[in-house]
Amino acid sequence: MDTPQKQTELLRRVLADGLSEKSFLNIYALGKIQKVMTGQCLFRKGDRNETLFLVVSGRFKTHQKAQENFQEEFIFQEGDWIGELLFFQTPLRWATVKATVPSIVLTLEEKALRALDPENRDFILKKLNDQLSRRLKSANRRLFKTGSANAYLTDYVLKLREQHENKYEQSEIIQNILKNIPRLPIYVTKLIQLLLDEGASVKEITNLAKQDPSLVSQILKVVNSPYYGLKNKIADLNHAILYLGFNEVYQIIVSGGIQKTMPGSPEFRDLHQHSVIISQLAFEICQHYDKRYSSTMSTIGLLHDIGKSIVLLLKKQNPKWALFIEMLQPARIGALLLKEWQIPTTVCEAIQYQDYPEFFPAETVPAEQRAFTAILALAHLCCDLCGGKRIEASEHPYITEYFELLGFDGMTVQEFFSQKIIPSLQKKSETLPSNLRAMVLSIPQDQPSW
């Protein structure tokens, strides 16, 4: 067992470097030697930061909970000071520190630090500065290695993905699959091209809608539904389009066309309803980003999961091959199908790169597609928030740079959602799709920023 004399000798050895006998006695007199057993906490995260410790013997390390594994772990050994009291006047400890072996520390309370001779305070300050500098250099080296490894892995995975997907266009099997998918009605393709190239008038939309009597019936059915509570029924298509609004009618036309290409099973209906919600949210985001892209993003939202629909259809048709069919990339398959349907390139490419924000930094997306990709990713986050899901930063490592790319400076995704999107949707709730309307109306007006 360590005697007081032995502890003093250990302390003298630790402090001897560059310190006079007088200075040693000054620090020894104001400090207090303390034994710490293995596993015992020196202090806990959140404790008051009022004490400085010198490791006389033994070993300590920071201790963190499982959900805090992103934080760096520090080791403290003989001669190390624990606590940055002289540098940072923070009221609370930032981490828990535990002994890993039986240890001895010299404890200096804040009052004792103030009572030290200036020469001794400078001595301790220099030791702390040297220690923090070493720690910072070590952290920078680890950061550089981590960054290099991340860049290598990102490039490697991206090349593998591109090599794999580039073979899709040469695959006779995939090309035959795409050619056997029913095409979009010609009026839908014409409307999409019209919107993206020139913009469409109410008259032009009316003329396109009249090409399919069932579509006219659908628009009139929506406007005359009990939800709108009209006293006088609307029988004129032109009047219905003016009443519902351009984007609502556009969604009805394109949605109706998409539904004609896929089965009416619950799984396909769920995918389609999700796409309608994403389309509406993407449209709203554009009202705050750049209104010129509203129709384009509405189209991208409606079509973005078409690849998932194809994969689902193939699995239903070929259940024995389900495992291999699931290996297909829905985004790439969807983009190829839309290209086959002669949908404008802007839409096809935006859908091809749609899942990049989940795995890759913004710089990996072609410059002309980054904004569309970012808006689509943000629309999905807003959809999650509409459903009450919390956004975890660890699940979206690149989303901040995509969000900042849109120029919403000084706001988090949650703040943008609660301050911009929700008030806008609540004002126009009467014209929203029923499933989105239900979600929006269930969110309080004073929606908090999570």
φ, ψ of residue 60 to 5 degrees: the values are: -135, 160
What confidence category does residue 45 fall into, taking pLDDT thresholds of 50, 70 and 90?
confident
CB 64 within 8 A of CB 73: yes
Choose the weakest-confidence range: 22-36, 227-241, 305-319, 367-381: 227-241
Question: Where do the CATH 1.10.3210 domains begin and end in the chain?
Answer: 273-450
Strand, coil or helix: what is 442? coil
- Give pLDDT, residue 200: 64
Question: Where do the CATH 2.60.120.10 domains begin and end in the chain?
Answer: 4-138
Q: Above 80 in pLDDT, residue 430?
A: no
- Give pLDDT, residue 447: 44
Q: Above 80 in pLDDT, residue 28?
A: yes
pTM of the model: 0.70
Answer yes or no: CATH 2.60.120.10 is held by domain 4-138. yes
pLDDT tens-digit readout, 364-409: 999 999 999 999 999 999 998 888 888 877 778 888 889 989 988 7
Q: Above 80 in pLDDT, residue 66?
A: no
Across the beta sheet with 81-82, what order do the strands follow? 32-36, 103-109, 51-57, 81-82
CB 399 within 8 A of CB 362: no
What confidence category does residue 432 fall into, taking pLDDT thresholds of 50, 70 and 90?
confident
- DSSP label at 326? T
What gap in Å lies between CA 319 and CA 285, rounded to an integer?
A: 39
- The predicted model gives 322-336 an average pLDDT of 88
- The predicted model gives 410-433 an average pLDDT of 82
- Give pLDDT, residue 19: 76
What confidence category does residue 87 fall into, taking pLDDT thresholds of 50, 70 and 90?
low
pLDDT tens-digit readout, 184-194: 777 778 777 77
Choose the weakest-confidence range: 37-46, 181-190, 340-349, 396-405: 181-190
Q: Above 90 in pLDDT, residue 198?
A: no
DSSP string computed for 58-69: SEEEEE--GGGT
Architecture of the domain defined by 273-450: Orthogonal Bundle (1.10)
DSSP string computed for 91-108: SB-SSEEEESS-EEEEEE
What confidence category does residue 433 fall into, taking pLDDT thresholds of 50, 70 and 90?
low
- Give pLDDT, residue 65: 64
